[in-house]
């Protein structure tokens, strides 16, 4: 597919500055740096819509990121404009409307952002506690903030007196290990899920009914993982 080749070449070019070699081994892609190598299955729609964001994922999986420790960073609430600009730049699924926005800063440089939902009552929690959703978390390209996710979530839990924080991970690009290390526990997993992809803008959405084949085509994804962080230790 000519368009896929075009966007793959764009990805290859952006990775050259990191001395990463890229190979198309349909339906997967291989990326190497010295003796390190990874193989990723990148859906065509994500390659087309998010080629400029994929280097961050590839750098992280090749362990080439610069490490910054969260203990020397500061967590602050941030304005919507900054939060949405950052997540649109670095999150594979772009930004989303959210109730609360937090960032991790080092010397006034924004390194990571977390977006949270409003709270909801849940039967699993005491009556005075609410559950919140971590809707987005991402870091700047080429940066790993060690302990950053944990610091963001703990700060949020304390400030909102939250009962817990839940999040959903797409199994296509992540196994959720970073969230488990931060204290999240796997609650449940889904099996394969169908997505509909718009044929013109390649926008992806969960298929809820029969797809209009004139406007969309259908792809299968491996599903998602639901994880929950108990705020008891953070309060």
Identify whether residues 85 and 150 lie together within a single domain: yes
Residue 202 resides in a domain: no
pLDDT at 13 over 70: yes
CA distance 180 to 99: 24
Q: 206: pLDDT confidence band, cut at 50, 70 and 90? A: confident
Identify whether residues 110 and 180 lie together within a single domain: yes
Element holding 179 (H helix, E strand): helix 177-181
Q: What confidence score (pLDDT) does residue 48 get? A: 92
CA distance 171 to 167: 13
Identify whether residues 48 and 124 lie together within a single domain: no
Average pLDDT, the chain: 93
Identify whether residues 51 and 76 lie together within a single domain: no
Q: What confidence score (pLDDT) does residue 233 get? A: 65
- Across the range 106-111, mean pLDDT stands at 97
Residue 205 resides in a domain: no
Q: What confidence score (pLDDT) does residue 172 get? A: 87
pLDDT at 70 over 80: yes
Q: What confidence score (pLDDT) does residue 208 get? A: 79
Identify whether residues 39 and 135 lie together within a single domain: no
Identify whether residues 72 and 183 lie together within a single domain: yes
pLDDT, greater one: 97 or 235: 97
Helix, strand or coil, per DSSP, at residue 21: strand
**144, two tokens:** 């790993």
Identify whether residues 81 and 168 lie together within a single domain: yes
Identify whether residues 119 and 158 lie together within a single domain: yes
**Range(s) of the domain holding residue 54:** 2-64
* Total of domains in the chain: 2
Task: Name which of 79-83, 86-90, 207-211 the model is least confident about.
Answer: 207-211
CA distance 152 to 231: 12
29 closest CA partner among 18, 19, 17, 15: 15
Calculate the alpha carbon distances from 141 to 67, 92, 183, 188 in Å.
12, 12, 24, 30
DSSP letter at 13 equals H
């Amino acid at each position: 597919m000519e368009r896929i080749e075009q966007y793959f070449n764009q990805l290859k070019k952006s990775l050259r500055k990191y001395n990463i070699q890229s190979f198309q081994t349909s339906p997967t892609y291989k990326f190497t740096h010295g003796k390190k190598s990874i193989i990723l299955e990148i859906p065509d729609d994500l390659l087309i819509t998010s080629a400029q964001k994929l280097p961050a994922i590839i750098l992280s999986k090749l362990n080439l990121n610069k490490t910054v420790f969260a203990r020397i960073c500061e967590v602050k609430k941030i304005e919507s404009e900054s939060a949405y600009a950052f997540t649109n730049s670095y999150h594979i699924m772009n930004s989303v409307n959210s109730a609360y926005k937090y960032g991790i800063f080092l010397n006034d440089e924004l390194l990571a952002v977390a977006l949270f939902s409003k709270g909801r009552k849940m039967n699993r929690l005491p009556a005075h506690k609410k559950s919140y959703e971590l809707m987005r978390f991402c870091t700047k390209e080429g940066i790993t903030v060690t302990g950053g996710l944990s610091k963001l979530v703990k700060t949020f839990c304390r400030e909102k007196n939250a009962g817990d924080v839940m999040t959903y991970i797409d199994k296509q690009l992540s196994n959720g290990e970073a969230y488990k290390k931060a204290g999240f526990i796997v609650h449940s997993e889904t099996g394969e899920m169908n997505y509909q992809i718009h044929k013109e803008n390649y926008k992806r959405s969960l298929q809820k009914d029969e797809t209009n084949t004139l406007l969309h085509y259908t792809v299968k994804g491996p599903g998602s993982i639901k994880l929950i962080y108990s705020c008891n230790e953070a309060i």
